[in-house]
Amino acid sequence: MSVRKKTDRLARRIVERIQDGTADHTMVTNMLDSLVKNRDKRIAQLERRNKPRVFTMTQKIITGALRDCIRNHGPITKEWIGSAAKRIYINCIRVDEQKLAEEQKDTVQNG
């Protein structure tokens, strides 16, 4: 339901209560508070939903290895689970070797 519909419905309920003579300031304040709380809750939900996903380096390594396995063998089944595990392991080693090479390179340049 859109905010406009909710505010229109709230305004209509307040006018009805005023016409009935049953409206008091606490009732109106409570109705407005509930509208604001619902709006704030909805905004928070939308912010969480639209938040970009941030992957760690490990997640990127595993995701890349699984994509590579799927690209080469199709869906990962019991037959190909070993291949997927091997690809993940190899990618982790490759990244570790690259980091080590970069550290050695930095040490040689700075040392």
Reported confidence tier of residue 111, pLDDT bands at 50, 70, 90:
low
Between CA 29 and CA 34, with CA 32 as vertex, the angle to 5 degrees is 110
Dihedral sign (CA 36, 41, 44, 50): negative
Domain that holds residue 90: 57-110
Q: Hey, what are 40's tokens?
A: 């704030």
The total domain count for the chain is 2
Residues 11 and 45 in one domain: yes
Q: What is the mean pLDDT of residues 25-31?
A: 82
Residues 100 and 63 in one domain: yes
62-109, pLDDT tens digit by residue?
888 889 889 988 888 888 889 889 988 888 888 888 887 888 877 777
Query: According to the model, what pLDDT value does residue 1 have?
Result: 54
Burial (0-12, 13-18, 19+ Cβ within 10 Å), 13: middle
- The percent of residues above 90 in pLDDT, for the chain, comes to 1
Q: Hey, what are 106's tokens?
A: 């930095």
Q: Hey, what are 62's tokens?
A: 């595993």
Residues 61 and 105 in one domain: yes
Q: What is the pTM of this model?
A: 0.43
